[in-house]
Amino acid sequence: MAYTLKEIAELVGGAIIGIDQVLIRGINSLADAKEGEISLYADRRYEKELKETKASALLVAKVTDAYHGPQVVVPHPALAHARVAQLFSSPHPRFPGISERTVVHETSIIGTNPSIFPLVYVGEKARIGDEVILYPGVFVGDRVRIGNKTVIFPNVTILPDCVIGNEVVIRAGTVIGSDGFGFIRDGRRNVRVPQLGIVQIDDHVEIGANNCIDRAAMGKTWIKRGVKTDNLVHIAHNVVIGEDTLIAAQTAIGGSAHIGKEVVIGGQVAISDHIRIEDRVMIGSQSGVAKPLGPGEIVSGSPAMAHRLWLRTSGIIPRLPDLSERLRKLEKKVEGLANPSKSEKAE
């Protein structure tokens, strides 16, 4: 697999400075790039690596003097990087057909060109689309439906009746459709509220590793088209997440929360039950969101506040001992002004 720099420049809509017939066989970081590989320079923190790189060409936002090989100038280097990396990425490894060492219940229907590895379990009346890959250790519960070209990584559990769309990716160890955490106190005991609903995951969603997405108490927990989650994310029962929303690692979304589309949620965020987050909101890492957020709001902190305000308050928090001391001194001084004689005696 090799491409001329000209071909690559055309793919990313860039302008070449230098020789355009260099052959490119891979993409790599500045530090690790070998001859024949292209790299990316878009961040000054990597100036040192730039000077020492062995890359045969660069994607850049603007021409740099510190590199003497050919450069492809692009408006958006990170996007260009993604496109070039796609050229050199391998397809997911496939098993040819359905392994004899796997268990597929006879009442289930599998589409064309399947890739079902050994040690998979597919329950009763499941419907699996075309060109689906199920890796070892995957559990597909009864009546689960999976669309076309979806990839389910090892040791994923998809519990009964859940619905997974087309071209979805679910990464290793994730659990889809576990019962929501629904308990009601009856005296001192906790009575389980049966979780009768499902999880529905729409097309082009990617779920990270070791996520937990719980089935709805009634109706569905719904992850809409294009949502991407990082690792170890918890999504409780009856949550709805809008199109193209991004959720970073270890975030927890409470029961029945509604998240809009194109929202960006940082890592280790907690969103309370029943909260509504509108479209295009951005939430900083470790935030605690217990109140609704309007369209486009940018928040941080726990409890969450406007990000700009949080920058200021979080700058003041380390100065609290100083503020406290200044207040104490000022009280004393004012006391002295109010009662001059007493104050003098005290001193």
Position among 10, 20, 179, 297 found at the interface with its own copies (CB under 8 A): 179
**Does 209 interact with its own copies (rule: CB under 8 A)?**
yes
The residue (of 112 and 338) whose beta carbon lies closer to its own copies is 338
End-to-end CA distance of the chain: 86
Task: Write down the least CB distance from residue 138 to its own copies, Å.
Answer: 9
Residues found in the chain: 347
Task: Write down the least CB distance from residue 44 to its own copies, Å.
Answer: 12
For residues 245-264, which are near its own copies according to CB under 8 A? Answer: 246, 248-250, 252, 254, 262
For residues 321-340, which are near its own copies according to CB under 8 A? Answer: 321, 323-324, 326-327, 330-331, 333-334, 337-338
**Can you tell me the distance from the alpha carbon of 173 to that of 271, in angstroms, rounded to the nearest whole number?**
23
Q: Is 237 a catalytic residue?
A: yes
**Can you tell me the distance from the alpha carbon of 202 to that of 146, in angstroms, rounded to the nearest whole number?**
10
The residue (of 69 and 219) whose beta carbon lies closer to its own copies is 219
Task: Write down the least CB distance from residue 271 to its own copies, Å.
Answer: 10
The residue (of 64 and 178) whose beta carbon lies closer to its own copies is 178
Active-site hit among 237, 258, 274, 307: 237
**Does 343 interact with its own copies (rule: CB under 8 A)?**
no
Which residues does residue 72 pair with via DSSP β-bridges, in sequence order? Answer: 16, 59
Residue whose C-alpha is closest to residue 165's, from 203, 221, 132, 128: 203
Which residues does residue 127 pair with via DSSP β-bridges, in sequence order? Answer: 109, 145
Q: What is the Cα 231 distance to its own chain's centre?
A: 7
**Does 236 interact with its own copies (rule: CB under 8 A)?**
yes
For residues 99-128, which are near its own copies according to CB under 8 A? Answer: 101, 103, 117-119, 121, 123-124
Q: How many CB atoms neighbour CB 66 within 10 A?
A: 11
Joined tokens for residue 291: 């109140």
* 270 dihedral zone (left: phi>0; alpha: psi -120 to 50; beta): beta
The residue (of 19 and 196) whose beta carbon lies closer to its own copies is 196
Alpha helices by DSSP H, listed for the chain, are 5-12, 47-52, 77-88, 307-316, 320-338, 340-346
The residue (of 21 and 296) whose beta carbon lies closer to its own copies is 296
For residues 46-75, which are near its own copies according to CB under 8 A? Answer: none
The residue (of 9 and 37) whose beta carbon lies closer to its own copies is 37
For residues 122-161, which are near its own copies according to CB under 8 A? Answer: 123-124, 135-137, 139, 141-142, 153-155, 157, 159-160
Side chain identity at 107, as an amino acid letter? T
**Does 189 interact with its own copies (rule: CB under 8 A)?**
yes
Residue whose C-alpha is closest to residue 52's, from 60, 62, 41: 41
Collapsing DSSP states into helix, strand and coil, what is residue 262? coil
Peptide bond into 93 cis (omega under 30): no
CA pseudo-torsion sign 208, 212, 213, 215: positive
For residues 23-42, which are near its own copies according to CB under 8 A? Answer: 26-29, 31-32
Position among 130, 210, 297, 307 found at the interface with its own copies (CB under 8 A): 210
Question: Biggest alpha carbon distance in the chain?
Answer: 98
For residues 265-324, which are near its own copies according to CB under 8 A? Answer: 267-268, 270, 272, 274, 285-286, 288, 301-303, 305, 309-310, 312-314, 316-321, 323-324
Task: Write down the least CB distance from residue 120 to its own copies, Å.
Answer: 8
Q: How far is CA 19 from CA 27, 60, 70, 274, in A?
A: 18, 15, 6, 58
Task: Write down the least CB distance from residue 66 to its own copies, Å.
Answer: 20
Joined tokens for residue 137: 């250790």
The residue (of 194 and 294) whose beta carbon lies closer to its own copies is 194
Task: Write down the least CB distance from residue 67 to its own copies, Å.
Answer: 17
The residue behind tokens 């790599």 is: 28
Would you name the residues annotated as active-site residues?
237
